[in-house]
Chain A
């Protein structure tokens, strides 16, 4: 549904996007992950026909974003970082006017507005001007404003940045609900937990370049698992260090009575670890093998390019 090859775009001296390849199959959610200034928004703006790429091509539902903009715009919805709704209007008016702009006709536009307000739980505030709404509610309105024409492809540019956890949760449920109905979604985010929860596929970008991609699990596997051994005293620390190295551990670190190391994902099970240490006569107070969080993956991946 979304295909991009070699997308690049600069602003004067700054190369916001280097060369991005992207493929999002129909009905899946892809998350573009990256620190501020990584090029996420530039990518979305190019795909949504708001910005022309300097290099590369992109197709949405088979239509070229550079030459078939009108066809593309008929098939996309865009919700941005800042809630793009008219503050002077009520929530219902906002959706109604957008419905008219989508040529729904007055009656259908009214019905669609009412339906969306109800489905996303904004009915109570619907007839108050948006300027009095909370940030989370505005963002939800912005999200549903992009759904008026039921676009098959949806771009969400940092849909939850700056929201409190509760509002973030509401946006997450809304997005999850959309993907159940088969919408293809490309979202950008700085929150890894969000990508983990919503996306089928992740692409980590930094400085306008892809640095990794895959499912959340695959990305976690990239940096392996962290083994941690807690000893009752510092007597056996060096033995424990040797034991972990022997098991293929890297990056061995010692902190008080705690020895930790990184091992390849899936290379070591907890019973194996305990048995091995026991055989060496090392007394354990506590031990564990922990999958990395996506935050660790992210920091690990983006650190290397800095």
Chain B
């Protein structure tokens, strides 16, 4: 694990040397909050509310945080790109653990995550989102969010190493959209057809979004009796740890065998 730190430092240093990336990192959360908050917010009313707007924005923000955390595209594209250049060969010929480089990338992603979540939350506070939970609950919510992002970046890297080519990874990015839509991130699941609602309820994004809403004390969507939505905090932890348990070994194996 100690070897992961230089690998993370490499990515962070390259970010510091790339002002355009920093600009995107800072503006993307702001743009997301404004677009979704005011475009969807005007049109969508939560069940039991007469109109959207303010309440919807409070419902939406945890969803946007989860949406951002679940964005596997950057990890996927950069893993595919690095696999294609000789850089991965160089790292794999070094006397370091073969999990070190993927772990370093996941740690670096976590740093970007902290930055974009903070900006998004500040922006949310400006447009009416509030934290009504206790400090402990808020910290737990942050922990779940970061853990979820950490596991998502392992999935992204695994797919990136699998595609082994930047173009394919770029094309595959479109597939990262549906998981966010088939969930309670933007809308409550109860308006969906029953079968779709069940999928959405068992979508890890839904659990994490519901957990954040519960812990922040934001309005939540009806659960429809689905277990992961009834017990979102437990479900989120199970989901994230489960994803890590599957994708950390898969990704490490894939990386260790890259180019074979």
Contact = CB atoms under 8 A, between A and B. Distances in A.
On whether the two chains bind one another, the answer is: yes
Interface string B185-201: 00000000000000000
Residue of B91, B93, B94, B259 most packed against chain A (CB within 10 A): B93
B80 to A, nearest CB: 16
A100 B11 CA distance: 14
B260 to A, nearest CB: 6
B177 to A, nearest CB: 27
B107 interface: no
A180 to B, nearest CB: 24
A129 interface: yes
A51 to B, nearest CB: 6
Given A89-B10, A101-B6, A78 B90 contact: yes
B7 A86 contact: no
A73 B93 contact: yes
Contacts of A49: 92-93
Interface string B70-110: 00000000000000011101111111100010000000000
Residue of A97, A129, A149 most packed against chain B (CB within 10 A): A97
A50 B14 contact: no
A97 B9 contact: yes
B88 to A, nearest CB: 8
A45 interface: yes
A102 interface: yes
A155 B85 CA distance: 18
Nearest to B87: A84
Nearest to B15: A88
Contacts of B87: 84-86
Given A51-B260, A80-B89, A84-B86, A101 B14 contact: no
| Size band of the interface chain B makes with A | 20 to 34
Contacts of A146: 90
Interface string A38-80: 0000000100111110000000000000000010011011101
Nearest to A83: B86
Nearest to B100: A101
A97 B6 contact: yes
A52 B257 CA distance: 9
A51 B88 CA distance: 13
Given A45-B259, A52-B260, A73-B95, A100 B9 contact: yes
Contacts of A52: 260
A228 interface: no
A49 B6 CA distance: 22
A90 interface: yes
B9 A80 contact: no
Pick the 7 closest A-B CB pairs, nearest first. Answer: A84-B86, A100-B6, A88-B14, A74-B95, A84-B90, A80-B86, A78-B93
24 contacts: A48-B93, A49-B92, A50-B92, A50-B259, A50-B260, A70-B95, A73-B93, A73-B95, A78-B93, A81-B86, A84-B87, A86-B10, A90-B17, A93-B13, A93-B14, A97-B10, A98-B94, A100-B9, A101-B3, A101-B6, A101-B96, A102-B94, A142-B86, A145-B90
Interface of A: 45, 48-52, 70, 73-74, 76-78, 80-86, 88-90, 93, 97-98, 100-102, 129, 142, 145-146, 149
